[in-house]
Amino acid sequence: MKKCISFGLLLVLVMSLVMFASCAKRPPEPEDYPPDEQPMDIRTGERAEIEAELERQRRIAEQELEGFRDLTPEEEAARVEKEMDRMAFLESTVYFAFDNSSLTTEAREILLRQARWLKKNGDVTVIVEGHCDNRGTEEYNLALGSRRAQSVKDFLVNAGVEPSRIVTISYGEERPAVQGDNEKAWSKNRRAEFRLR
């Protein structure tokens, strides 16, 4: 049922975009104004660019909608499930204890799911980002973030993912998930996150 609702919402969104693009109010033609009252924002070249961009967006929306029409219900369900699996992979986060790069039991469970998804999607390369809270020097936190990302990579490789498909990077304390100088914020910033390349 959720899949049907997701497809329905996507269909409504695409149709709204098509209708919005086709029903946009057109500005008056420059020749409709007396020569000394030409509006500053209507220039022939700019208007042509805007109209061309609207037409391009309309064609893209129609092509996407046509692609959905060609799918059988089973194919659409499989496509939605695959996209939901991909989003779940990207939204997973591994958290670490203070000043530590060891994996917790919870982190290992998350990484087993990540490894299964990566093995099922063999054409994907993943970037593992290591992050820290804002305590410690910048250099120390970059090194700690690197160790955290490497711990995740090592676990995934041991679970059967090819090492060449995993890239690690450390952001140290540069990209906090939560602002604040308290344990609640710090615990959310000591993490490893995933991006696809």
- pLDDT score, position 47: 73
Question: E strand or H helix at 166, and its extent?
Answer: strand 166-172
Q: What is the Cα–Cα distance from 89 to 68, expressed in whole angstroms?
A: 24
- The residues, ordered by sequence, that sit 6+ positions from 114 with a Cβ below 8 Å of its Cβ are 89, 92, 156, 194
Residue 92 DSSP label: -
- Residue 40's φ and ψ, nearest 5 degrees, are -70, -30
Q: What is the Cα–Cα distance from 111 to 156, expressed in whole angstroms?
A: 7
List average pLDDT for each run of 10 residues in the chain, which is 197 residues long.
Answer: 57 63 54 52 65 82 67 84 92 96 97 96 95 95 97 98 97 95 95 95
Question: Per CATH, which fold does 94-196 belong to?
Answer: 60s Ribosomal Protein L30; Chain: A; (3.30.1330)
DSSP string, 31-65: GGS-GGG--TT--HHHHHHHHHHHHHHHHHHHHHH
Q: What is the Cα–Cα distance from 179 to 6, expressed in whole angstroms?
A: 33
Of 193, 196, 120, 194, the residue nearest 161 (C-alpha): 120
- pLDDT score, position 131: 97
Of 130, 107, 115, 195, the residue nearest 162 (C-alpha): 115
- The residues, ordered by sequence, that sit 6+ positions from 65 with a Cβ below 8 Å of its Cβ are 11, 14, 15, 18
Strand 166-172 relative to strand 191-196, pairing: unpaired
- pLDDT score, position 23: 54
